[in-house]
């Protein structure tokens, strides 16, 4: 078979470091190429990507192809851009083309067989958390790709149900294939813990949040819950003599409306208690998890929830929302809260801060649960989807 994979989410010059769909695409391709030496693969990259960055994908059954003229998209009529994309894809005579995210849009005039991976439908489930104009454009692309796909891969049963309900697609067209977890989370980090703590000026015990700082992650309510957590633990009734020993570390790039969080932090009197790190590079993640007291993720919606698995793999106990895909992915290995209930989030943080046995219990459960998610398994199941087009 001749299989095309759209790899433009990796090393995208406009988007910077690979996150989300980019990470999925990179790990999927890397593991597929380890497993499958028989089929031919054509990998489509953004044409501005440097040759040296894609050397790792070179092997006898792989052809690297650059998507054309992406520098000039804004100057070209939409139809012309579609024609160029269709010509590029059609020239390769593919048996199947895999778009690893709806954002990597397949041209409407392309007539070959297509597989599309759907990760996250939060734009439909919590539309108020996104700008209206970009949200409308995103919905149009998602709708087009759902109808264009001959088969859809959903990263969770929750996402599969959302795809069925939103796009009125039959269950038979959708396969659930869980993502895996990067093996580096099970290995010793190359960066020392002390170096990380010093870099981000972490001087106390800390609670970790990891993700894009945006409304869908429920950051405002997390900050309010942390302020209540501080107030309760600083109370003489708790026997702490007014000394507060925790920091909240918000790790992740700044997203839509993130500037508002700076004002909220100030208004809540948390300027000395909250650290915002910005984007975290891969090698820094493990020590950042391992040194935290616990991880908290009160998201309003998650299509998969990779960061929960990262917490589990590093032995970090987790407090997470009981919504969308999270109970499916985390099983009984996380402590669940209602993301809309600030008091519940606060009480969970107090419990975890005061009960080492509870933290150890969830630490052990997490280390067992994460064993179920493996990129080789993801890759093999995806290859089976490709084979179904023979």
Residues 161 and 233 in one domain: no
Domain shared by 126 and 139, yes or no: yes
The reply to whether 203 and 175 lie within a common domain is no
- Same domain membership, residue 365 and residue 221: yes
Q: Residue 131 has what pLDDT? A: 87
Strand order in the sheet with 2-6: 62-67, 40-46, 2-6, 96-99, 114-118, 151-154, 174-176
Q: Is 111 helix (H, G, I), strand (E, B) or coil?
A: coil
pLDDT tens, 325-357?
999 999 999 999 999 999 999 999 999 999 999
Q: What does each of the 390 residues of the chain score in pLDDT, given as a tens digit?
A: 999 999 988 865 444 444 678 889 999 999 999 999 999 999 999 877 777 778 889 999 999 998 875 444 555 555 656 788 898 899 999 999 999 999 888 999 999 999 999 999 999 999 998 888 888 889 999 999 999 999 999 999 999 999 999 999 999 999 999 999 988 888 877 788 899 999 999 999 999 999 999 999 999 999 999 999 999 988 766 554 567 899 999 999 888 878 899 999 999 999 999 999 998 888 899 999 999 999 999 999 999 999 999 999 999 999 999 999 999 999 999 999 999 999 999 999 999 999 999 999 999 999 999 999 999 999 999 999 999 999
Give the count of domains, the chain: 2
Helix runs in 36-94, H state only: 78-90
Distance CA 153, CA 119 (A): 9
One domain, residues 165 and 276? no
The answer on 202 and 136 residing in a single domain is no
Q: Are residues 11 and 26 in the same domain?
A: yes
Pairwise CA distance, residues 99 & 146, whole Å: 11
What residue numbers bound the domain in which 170 lies? 2-180+374-387
Same domain, 189 and 175: no
**Do 344 and 209 sit in the same domain of this protein?**
yes
CATH number of the domain that residue 345 is part of? 3.40.50.2000
pTM tops 0.95 = no
Strand partners, 321: 337
> DSSP for 120-170?
--HHHHSGGGS-HHHHHHHHHHHHHHHHH-SEEEESSHHHHHHHHHHHT--
């Amino acid at each position: 078979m001749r299989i095309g994979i759209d790899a433009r989410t990796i090393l995208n010059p406009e988007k910077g470091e690979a996150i989300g769909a980019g990470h999925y695409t990179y790990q999927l391709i890397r593991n597929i190429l380890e497993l499958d030496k028989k089929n031919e693969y054509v990998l489509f990259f953004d044409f501005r990507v440097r040759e040296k960055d894609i050397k790792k994908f070179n092997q006898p059954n792989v052809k690297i192809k650059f998507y054309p003229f992406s520098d000039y998209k804004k100057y070209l009529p939409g139809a012309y851009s579609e024609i160029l994309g269709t010509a590029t894809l059609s020239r390769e005579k593919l048996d199947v083309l895999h778009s690893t995210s709806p954002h990597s849009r397949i041209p409407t005039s392309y007539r070959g067989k297509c597989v599309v991976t759907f990760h996250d439908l939060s734009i439909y489930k919590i539309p108020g958390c996104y700008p209206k104009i970009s949200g409308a454009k995103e919905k149009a692309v998602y709708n087009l790709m759902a109808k264009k796909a001959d088969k859809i891969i959903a990263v969770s049963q929750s996402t599969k149900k959302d795809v069925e309900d939103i796009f009125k697609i039959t269950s038979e067209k959708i396969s659930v294939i869980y993502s895996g977890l990067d093996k580096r989370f099970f290995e010793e980090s190359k960066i020392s813990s002390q170096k990380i703590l010093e870099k981000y000026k972490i001087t106390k015990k800390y609670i970790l949040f990891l993700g894009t700082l945006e409304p869908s992650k429920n950051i405002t309510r997390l900050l309010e819950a942390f302020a209540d957590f501080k107030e309760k633990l600083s109370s003489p009734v708790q026997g702490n003599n007014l000394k507060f020993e925790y920091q909240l570390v918000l790790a992740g790039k700044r997203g839509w409306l993130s500037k508002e969080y700076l004002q909220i932090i100030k208004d809540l009197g948390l300027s000395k208690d909250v650290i915002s790190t910005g984007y975290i590079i891969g090698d820094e993640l493990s020590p950042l998890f391992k040194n935290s007291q616990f991880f908290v993720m009160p998201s309003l919606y998650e299509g998969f929830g990779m960061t929960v698995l990262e917490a589990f793999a590093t032995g970090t106990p987790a407090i997470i929302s009981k919504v969308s895909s999270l109970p499916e992915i985390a099983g009984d290995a996380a402590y669940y809260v209602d993301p809309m209930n600030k008091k519940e989030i606060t009480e969970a943080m107090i419990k975890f801060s005061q009960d080492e046995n509870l933290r150890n219990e969830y630490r052990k459960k997490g280390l067992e649960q994460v064993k179920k998610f493996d990129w080789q398994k993801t890759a093999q199941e995806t290859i089976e989807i490709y084979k179904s087009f023979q």
